[in-house]
Amino acid sequence: MNLRIASYEEYQEKYQHSVNDPEEFWSDIAQTFLWKEPWTNTLNWNFTEPKITWFDGGKLNITENLLDRHLETRGDQVAFFWEPNEMDADGKTITYRELHAEVCKLSNAMRGLGVEKGDRVCIYMPMILESIVAILACARIGAVHSIVFAGFSSNALADRINDAQAKLVITSDGLNRGNKKVDIKTMVDEALLSCPSIEHSIVVNCTHSNPEMKSGRDVWYNEIMEGQPTTCEAETMDAEDLLFILYTSGSTGKPKGVVHTCGGYMVYTSYSFQNVFQHEQGDVFWCTADIGWITGHSYIVYGPLLAGATSVIFEGIPTYPDAGRFWQICEKYKVNQFYTAPTAIRSLMGHGLEVVNKYDLSALKVIGSVGEPINEEAWQWYFDHIGKKNCPVVDTWWQTETGGIMLSGLGNLSPMRATHAGYPLPGIQPVLLDGDGNEIHESEQEGYLCIKFPWPSILRTTYGDHERCKNVYFSNYDNYYFTGDGAKRDANGMYRIIGRVDDVINVSGHRFGTAEIEDAINTNKYAIESAVVGFPHDIKGQGIYAYVVVDPSKMDDQDTIIASVMDSVSKGIGKIAKPDKIQLVSGLPKTRSGKIMRRILRKIAEGEKSNFGDTSTLLDPDLVIEIVENSI
């Protein structure tokens, strides 16, 4: 079960082995898990259809690997310390044995509601222990979970429920976030008005907000759990059966449902967790992500539990009651491995060192970063003041689609360089391609980051639309998985991620498609047309700049229009996607063939006033002058 590499030399050996004989390499690792039946075929793949299977024919249930398997050896060990939003409120702990019992109870209850293997279940919940139970109960009975971040609007929730044709939604009455309470059941109720596939909702009483319960549809979590047996036979799953769907944004259209399957995802999240964080028995791990994102799936839930780790899960936000909250929690639970996003680091940096130095962070051994490029200044602050210059920073690059960490240092084993994610994990074969699809071998050249060989947790499809999966990830370059990121490799082979090369923007580590935000804006009654671009933002990494075309005769009431456009984005996607800047314009710069010249709009958003490169194809150059003059 211990999959941890112990030295840099061993990493190099393992890496070589994983490239020379990937099947043997991964099969040795997979054998350390609990299978009900062995696989017959370690790997089958082609990147053309694409069709990728790992451990095909193998039968398992992932929850037996992360719960049952641990009962004998660490049943009484804490699986999670739950830290509530309020600093002075009582936290909770749950041991592996208790978690097993709760998961079994909810599994039985869900089966009682008619949920069967293969059915989709939507989870729209806060950061509470019941959410972990809900996720694992789905996996136990073979239902496919689709977690939707509870900051998404009811429209966004409805889209995801409908795309997956979910039968059940698990939610709570409300959630606590800093000094705010949000009644999320209301959002669910609104969404369900247009979700005919949903038969039931299970509601956790979290904020005691006394919501309306629709009879025949809504059931309370605590009531349905009552009297359920604390054991439940785990469904037998094929390695390639769906484990979950997670919606993520792309360049075009609505968010797509990235599909991960049971066997490969299990093997890779466990392996990557143990190696990147160098987590040892007895350590306490804390990943500050939300369960609604892939980071929460892989490194709050699956990776740590598979490894039998003890983790912290936090309900609140980094700045409540003050900007010392993260560090207070690190001290309280003696956190050994801490994993957060650059945006959090940048926002906390601004609050000075007093709120950091008040706390004892000496238990920290490894500190991690994820979600967006980490700038030099934030890296240094994190290394100096949180890691006290003796914890390695693991800058982990990966994606919803990759399921697990792809490029990163391994704890204190690997050399590190600020702002560089570093080396590929064993089994990962990255390449940089030029515009013609040729591999770049020289160092310090920028290229398109692609992966040329499958790893166990690569996405298998996009739910309900395999063609889309093929087009987005496997068609740009034949026989490569295309990440959408640009990167550079230094003379020592370390990778540095530059950022997205497509129309995806990364705001505080959250991914949005510009088209998706434009669609939300275009539902607004004042908006004739719109174009959204990213611009550099000190804290968020990228901010959202929206150019909205409105009828010039209505321009005198700009504030009303801007507020109304903001509202449309909140309703269409969620408050997290609200533009930082909205500029009302009389038209968008287009080519004679009608294509929006986004390059110019990006430059204007960056503050550029005149150097727009070749503008000879521009239909109306005066429009650019107008936009520059009124830019924000």
Q: How far is CA 261 from CA 211, 242, 256, 258, in A?
A: 35, 4, 16, 10
For residues 495-534, which are near ligand WT7 according to CB under 6 A? Answer: 497, 500, 506, 511
List 22, 303, 392, 484, residue binding ligand WT7 (CB under 6 A): 484
CB of 485 to ligand WT7, least distance (A): 5
Closer CB to ligand WT7, residue 185 or residue 511? 511
Closer CB to ligand WT7, residue 192 or residue 407? 407
Place of tokens 């604390």: 230
CA angle 108, 287, 92 (to 5 degrees): 55
Q: Which pair of tokens denotes residue 535?
A: 């611009």
- DSSP H or E segment with residue 228: none
List 395, 503, 516, 518, residue binding ligand WT7 (CB under 6 A): 395
Residue count at the site for ligand WT7 (CB under 6 A)? 23
* Residue 386, CA atoms < 13 Å, CB-side half-sphere: 31
CB of 237 to ligand WT7, least distance (A): 24
CB of 113 to ligand WT7, least distance (A): 31
Contacts of 119 (CB under 8 A, 6+ apart): 143, 144, 166, 167, 168
Distance CA 268, CA 273 (A): 8
For residues 226-245, which are near ligand WT7 according to CB under 6 A? Answer: none
Closer CB to ligand WT7, residue 331 or residue 502? 502
Interface stretch with ligand WT7, choices 8-16, 67-75, 290-298, 474-482 (CB under 6 A): 290-298
Q: What is the SS3 string spanning 235-263?
A: CCEECCCEEEEEEECCCCCCCEEEEEEHH
For residues 244-263, which are near ligand WT7 according to CB under 6 A? Answer: 248
Asked if 192 contacts 212 with a C-beta cutoff of 8 angstroms, the reply is no
CB of 407 to ligand WT7, least distance (A): 7
Distance CA 621, CA 592 (A): 11
Distance CA 258, CA 398 (A): 14
Closer CB to ligand WT7, residue 103 or residue 507? 507
Interface stretch with ligand WT7, choices 162-170, 221-229, 316-324, 391-399 (CB under 6 A): 391-399
Asked if 125 contacts 290 with a C-beta cutoff of 8 angstroms, the reply is no
List 251, 319, 399, 564, residue binding ligand WT7 (CB under 6 A): 399
Residue 421 interacting with ligand WT7 (CB under 6 A): yes
Contacts of 171 (CB under 8 A, 6+ apart): 123, 124, 125, 184, 185, 188, 201, 202, 203, 204
Q: Which pair of tokens denotes residue 303?
A: 């990776």
CB of 239 to ligand WT7, least distance (A): 23
List 371, 430, 447, 589, residue binding ligand WT7 (CB under 6 A): 371
Interface stretch with ligand WT7, choices 280-288, 289-297, 378-386, 581-589 (CB under 6 A): 289-297
List 133, 138, 219, 294, residue binding ligand WT7 (CB under 6 A): 294
Helices (H) and strands (E) in the chain, counts: 21, 30
DSSP, collapsed to helix, strand or coil, labels residue 381 as helix
Q: Which pair of tokens denotes residue 146?
A: 């689709």
Asked if 114 contacts 199 with a C-beta cutoff of 8 angstroms, the reply is yes
Asked if 601 contacts 589 with a C-beta cutoff of 8 angstroms, the reply is yes
Closer CB to ligand WT7, residue 80 or residue 149? 149
Closer CB to ligand WT7, residue 1 or residue 498? 498
Interface stretch with ligand WT7, choices 100-108, 266-274, 368-376, 582-590 (CB under 6 A): 368-376
Binding mask 441-480 vs ligand WT7 (x if CB under 6 A, - otherwise)? Answer: ----------------------------------------
Distance CA 394, CA 384 (A): 14
Closer CB to ligand WT7, residue 298 or residue 631? 298
Closer CB to ligand WT7, residue 173 or residue 372? 372
Residue 423 interacting with ligand WT7 (CB under 6 A): no
Interface stretch with ligand WT7, choices 64-72, 228-236, 481-489, 553-561 (CB under 6 A): 481-489
CA dihedral defined by 205, 211, 217, 219, rounded to 10 degrees?
Answer: 20
The Cβ of residue 227 has, within 10 Å, a number of other Cβ atoms equal to 9
One-letter identity of residue 137: A
Residue 400 interacting with ligand WT7 (CB under 6 A): yes
Q: Which residues bind ligand WT7 (CB under 6 A)?
A: 248, 293-295, 369-373, 395-400, 421, 483-485, 497, 500, 506, 511
